[in-house]
Every structure is written in C-alpha cells, then in structure tokens.
Amino acid sequence: MNGNNSRYSNRGSGNFQRSSQTRPRRKKRRLRPWVKIALLVIAALILILIFKKIFGKSGKESSKESTKPVSTVTPTPMQQASNNTPTEAATPTSAVPSGPKYTICVDAGHGFADGGTSSEYLGTGVNEREITLDMAKLLKAELEARGHQVVLTHDGENQPKESEIMQKATELGVSYNASYFTENKVFHAYERTIWANVLNKQYNFDVMISLHVNALDDASVSGYQVYFCSTNDYSAKSEVISKKLVEAMKTDFPGKNVSTYARNNSNAFYVTKYPTMPSLLLEMGFCTNKDDAADMMNDEWRAKYVKTIADGLEQGLA
C-alpha cells in the first residue's frame, strides 16, 4: 500500500516540474504553479487518506485470515445495518432474515487418539469417537438446513495443537489454566472447551452441545441424559435449553428413559463448566445396552435423533 502512495505523489510532482519549466513567461501564469501545488498537496492528502482507509482495513482482515479461528470473519447483520447510509435504511429488514437464526457450536466428544468408550454391541472398530463424530456432522447438516450457523470443535481430521490453542486464547483474551492441558496429543475435553471459547470470540455462539455415548456395567440401563453446569455464568440458559432438549426427546422417543442432570462446580463436566457460553452435554445412549447400541448403529435412528436434538435446541434458544 505504501508503494502505491509514493508512486502517486512522484507522478504529481513530476507534472508540476514539467509545467513550471514550460510556462515561465507570463506574470499571471507564475501564480498558477502555486495553485497547482496547493491542489496537488490537497489531492495527495486526500489520496493518502483514502488509501489508508482502504488498505488499513484490508490489512487487518488479511492478518485475521492467516489465523485459523478468525478465518471467516463476516460482519453481523447489526454491523451491516449500522454502516448503512440513511438512504439505505430501508434495506436492513431484508438483510436480517438472511443471517443465521442461531449460531451453534457442536462438539463431537473424544476423537483422534481418544476413542472414548466402546462395547461388544458396537460394530468392529467402532468406538464412541466414531459415533459422536458422525452424529456431530449429521447434526450440523440438520441445523444448517434450518438456517442456523454451526461450527464443529473438530472434524476428526485436523486437530488444533495445544500450543495453537493456548496462543490463540492468549491473543484473544480467553482465560485458561495451562496445567489442565495434556501432553499426550489428545484433543481432550478441556482443550476442546478452550478451543470452543476461542471460536466463540469470533462466532458468539448461542450454545455449545457436546455429544457423547454412555457406558455402564449394568447392561439393563438405557436412555438419554443431558448434563449442564448449575454454577457458572450461563447456567440459567443452559438449564432452559437442557430441559427443552429432554422434552423433545421424550416426545419423539416415548418410553425411553430421558433425564437431565444439574452438576455443580466440583463435579460438572469440563465441556459444561468452562465454556464462555450456555452449554450442555448429551449422552445419546448406553453402548453397554443392546437396544441403545443397535439404535446408535442404525442410520434411520441417527437421522431421526439429530432432528430431535435440533428441535430441542431451537425450542431452548427461542
């Protein structure tokens, strides 16, 4: 951008020198170069200001693009509306509905080196990790089809490194306890939570939902469980969303055991305790129960279940 500015002012002074050399004759015209100088100085100042505005802005954006969590910064409908000139005041009403209704962070529990739980009832090579990732992707597609914006904490392929998470968190003012980070290359619950908080700085999530598969020694135990933290800044909203999700599951899966659990500061899951947004953890069934496991391995059940989750989230956020 500086290159453009200096090129412009060089060209300007070159014109002035030529004209002053070719027209030194008349008295009246001797005054004109001074007018030209003044005009050129004013023009140059205006150009510098314009270039600074244009390149100053795009410079900031491109530096953001080089960093992962802020790669797709887009102005919110409110920002767009406030930037509009008064003559465009009639358009924001049409701009608002085109934006996402809710912005939701979906966390596939476990992943990468952490397979989570498993049981003899799941297929060969299938752990909790494979189920939560597929369900997260299905839920994302379902919510996006309903007009919401969805961001996954991970896609099962690209794992944010601990150093990257901590660096971004520090840059963006996201608080974290470095001693909670692991050294074993597992993108574990605390790291995923801090990563979600980093993403939250960009996306301003309405809710974070972490998907999991349950397990118990008692094979007779089955059903769905929703956990939220009752002792953080977002507990009230987390509770509302959790209860609406439970209602939606009871409606769509009559006869299932469905329950919600409030956990306090000392026993809440990381993904419900530390998010800087309302959050909940959903156990989508017991893999140690034959029927639940069969459901979770069934494509029709998965398709139906993500619709139920989406219903519950929408009702909780409304």
Q: Does 237 bind Zn ion (CB under 5 A)?
A: no
Q: Which amino acid is at 149?
A: Q
- Binding segment toward Zn ion, per CB under 5 A, in 72-80, 108-116, 179-187, 227-235: 108-116
CB of 281 to Zn ion, least distance (A): 8
CB of 135 to Zn ion, least distance (A): 12
3-state SS assignment for residue 99 = coil
Q: Which amino acid is at 143?
A: L
- Binding segment toward Zn ion, per CB under 5 A, in 103-111, 167-175, 197-205, 222-230: 103-111
In terms of Cα–Cα distance, which of 203, 207, 181 is closest to 275?
207
3-state SS assignment for residue 210 = strand
CB of 116 to Zn ion, least distance (A): 5
Residue 177, both tokens: 């306890």
Q: Which amino acid is at 179?
A: S
In terms of Cα–Cα distance, which of 132, 97, 268 is closest to 211?
132
Contact in structure between 252 and 262 (CB atoms under 8 Å): no
DSSP state of 317: H
CB of 108 to Zn ion, least distance (A): 10
Among 69, 111, 116, 275, binds Zn ion (CB under 5 A): 116
Q: How many CB atoms lie within 10 A of CB 112?
A: 15
CB of 237 to Zn ion, least distance (A): 23
CB of 190 to Zn ion, least distance (A): 14
Q: Does 109 bind Zn ion (CB under 5 A)?
A: yes
Q: Which is nearer to Zn ion, 174 or 280 (CB)?
A: 280
Query: What does the per-residue mask of binding to Zn ion show for 117-146, with x meaning CB under 5 A?
Result: ------------------------------
Q: Which residue is closest to Zn ion by CB?
A: 212
CA–CA separation, 114 and 289 (whole Å)? 22
Q: Does 160 bind Zn ion (CB under 5 A)?
A: no
Query: What does the per-residue mask of binding to Zn ion show for 166-205, with x meaning CB under 5 A?
Result: ----------------------------------------
Q: Which is nearer to Zn ion, 77 or 115 (CB)?
A: 115
Among 168, 188, 212, 273, binds Zn ion (CB under 5 A): 212
CB contact set of 72 (below 8 Å; sequence gap of 6+): 202
Q: Which residue has the tokens 């954006």?
A: 61
Site size for Zn ion (CB under 5 A): 3
Q: Which is nearer to Zn ion, 176 or 270 (CB)?
A: 270
Residues across the chain: 318
CA–CA separation, 248 and 209 (whole Å)? 15
Q: Which is nearer to Zn ion, 117 or 149 (CB)?
A: 117
CB of 205 to Zn ion, least distance (A): 20
* Longest Cα separation, the chain: 107
Which residues of the shown chain bind Zn ion in the complex (CB under 5 A)? 109, 116, 212
